[in-house]
Structure 1
Amino acid sequence: MNKGQISNILRRLRLIYMADWAYYSIERCKNRKKNNSFKKNNPDVKLPNDYLMFESFQIDYTNYYEGGISTAKWLSEYFGKYIDLKDLKILDWGCGPGRVIRHLPEVIGNGCSYYGTDYNKQTIDWCAKNLPGISFNLNSLEAKLPYSDNFFDVIYGISIFTHLSEDLHYKWLNELQRILKPNGILLLTSQGDNFKTKLIRSEVLKFNNGELVIRDKVKEGYRMFSAFQPSGFMKNLFNDVQILEHYAEPIPKSGDWIPQDVWIVKKK
């Protein structure tokens, strides 16, 4: 029995939350020594509590902070291929506890302004109190944001579609297009072909048919609500925007990290 089968059984039995909490507890204990060392060596680095970090990433302070810097630089390189990174308004859609957005003012600079939005109230409260110079907003799962039409030059969402239903894929894309300026850049990630190894046979058949695969039985938006997106589905989703780039990084030969697909589109 593989992990996908176990996951689906736990969902049917309504035990997935309990299993995820057990995993959180194990990871917290496993990383305690390493995390205490990071705090001792970096006393000025502000960190969210362990569960907020776990919900959006993993309980590894080094990877949260230093990995956030690397991701910010990675995003800057992608953005810079398609837009002049100067005096822009940039939104982190689904910012979590600020892992990436906290570093962009230093990584990009150039008179840009930075915004973050998320549906987790505790996360947004922490970000607003601890990450100055960035405007944070609490949203709901409903595809509705308080920004005016054509407001942002760049929007990115890292592993956000991966926790939404098919209906909200379309509704949120429409909302992101609304607040994005004409010729603005939108970068999103998805669980593409690399993630077929996590699917059970019936899910693979659906995926290969170009259909979105959903694992639910939990609250939508929660880390254990999983969506797997074949490229055909994503191309249909992006029917009203211009696809600038689709990149699927190969799975590393070592380690358990599976890279998500990167989609960069431009508003027409």
Structure 2
Amino acid sequence: MRTRDLLRFVPGLSKLAHALTARERENRLLTEECWRLAGENHRLKARAGNRRPGHTEPGAAPPLPPEVLRLMVAGTGDADWFLTAGKLAADALAALLARNGVALGDCEAVLDFGCGCGRVLRHLTHLPAALHGCDSNPVGVEWCAEHLPTARFAVNALESALDYDAGSFDVAYAFSVLTHLPQPLQFHWMRELRRVLKPGGVLVLSLHGDALVGKLNRAERADYRAGRLVVRSGELAGTNHCAVFHPPAFVRGVLADGFEVLEHAREGAKGNPPQDAWVLRRK
């Protein structure tokens, strides 16, 4: 149970708990409205330029997403970094899987969980696998559906079931996704990702690890070194303002429940420096 939930049972603090809940809801609604406005801005610019935000033909290189979308998913609107980091992440994914006996080119179905506006998935469209991406940002999903026609995309809520059958995917990856979700949502999505993976399927994560301990304050470092998850601004879940740090002991002993840890590559998430990469196999 979260501290905020416990406040409901403390005399005199229930009003504070309700106020915090209301503020979380306001923040989420504001984030969703920003996403909606970003999408509308993209469409208006397209119309002003006498073009529609049309579909990319199969086989053609996808265009760059608009700067506002790049900023949302990468923390920077820099076009070169968007392309370079996405390619590094895709190459790192293939290498991590290969080291653990999985050839990405032999997979039947792959899921990009938290696909954003296709930063990584755009570099995997040459694969024969059925590619899927999902995200809680409907504007990013809309852009992907228009411009990455060889993959299929879906919108999920911050806490919902994925719209996929159990055992659908050989591989799923979530790059810099759990790094922006508080603990209850992490547990929810780990269970859901396990559900949609095939038995023996592989999940690849990028997480904030030891390389970022220097960014923590004294109390946070103490929690981290004790193996406890460190969450900043959990009320802004799903945005870059929520930052989460994962001690390796927490990943192995708690987060990876139901999975076998195949590899922990420190700073191995090359498209998300200096995050760690974790390779997990569904039990």
| TM-score, scaled relative to structure 2 | 0.73
Q: Report whether the alignment pairs 1:262 with 2:277.
A: yes
Q: Report whether the alignment pairs 1:99 with 2:116.
A: no
- Cα distance, 1:143 vs structure 2: 3.8
Say whether the 8 Å CA contact 1:127–1:136 is kept in structure 2: yes
Give the equivalent residue in structure 1 for 2:102. 83
Say whether the 8 Å CA contact 2:62–2:148 is kept in structure 1: no
Give the equivalent residue in structure 2 for 1:239. 257
> Per the alignment, do residues 231 and 217 of structure 1 end up closer, same or farther by CA in structure 2, a change over 3 Å counting?
closer
Q: Distance in 2 between matches of 1:45 and 1:238?
A: 35
Q: Give the one of 130, 146, 166 matched to 1:149.
A: 166
- Cα distance, 1:112 vs structure 2: 1.1
Q: Report whether the alignment pairs 1:52 with 2:58.
A: no
- Cα distance, 1:46 vs structure 2: 0.9
Q: Distance in 1 between matches of 2:87 and 2:273?
A: 19
- Cα distance, 1:217 vs structure 2: 5.9
> Per the alignment, do residues 171 and 45 of structure 1 end up closer, same or farther by CA in structure 2, a change over 3 Å counting?
closer
Q: Matched residues, percent identical?
A: 34
Say whether the 8 Å CA contact 2:183–2:229 is kept in structure 1: yes
Give the letter for the 1:104 counterpart: L
Q: Report the secondary structure of 1:233's partner residue.
A: helix
Say whether the 8 Å CA contact 1:195–1:258 is kept in structure 2: no
Q: Distance in 2 between matches of 1:87 and 1:165?
A: 31
Give the equivalent residue in structure 2 for 1:203. 220
Q: Report whether the alignment pairs 1:171 with 2:188.
A: yes
Q: Distance in 1 between matches of 2:86 and 2:273?
A: 17
Say whether the 8 Å CA contact 2:107–2:170 is kept in structure 1: no
Count the aligned residue pairs: 220
How far does the alpha carbon of each residue in 1:46-69 deviate from its partner, in whole angstroms, 9 at most, with x for none? 122212111110211111123322
Q: Distance in 1 between matches of 2:62 and 2:224?
A: 42
* Structure 1, unaligned runs of 5 or more: 1-16, 22-43
| TM-score, scaled relative to structure 1 | 0.77
* Structure 2, unaligned runs of 5 or more: 1-29, 35-60
Answer with 178-187 or 83-92: which moved more. 83-92
Give the letter for the 1:88 counterpart: E
How far does the alpha carbon of each residue in 1:118-143 deviate from its partner, in whole angstroms, 9 at most, with x for none? 00011111111111111011011114
Q: Report whether the alignment pairs 1:70 with 2:79.
A: no
Give the equivalent residue in structure 1 for 2:20. none
Compute the RMSD of aligned alpha carbons. Answer: 2.2
Give the letter for the 1:83 counterpart: V
- Cα distance, 1:218 vs structure 2: 4.4
Say whether the 8 Å CA contact 1:215–1:227 is kept in structure 2: yes
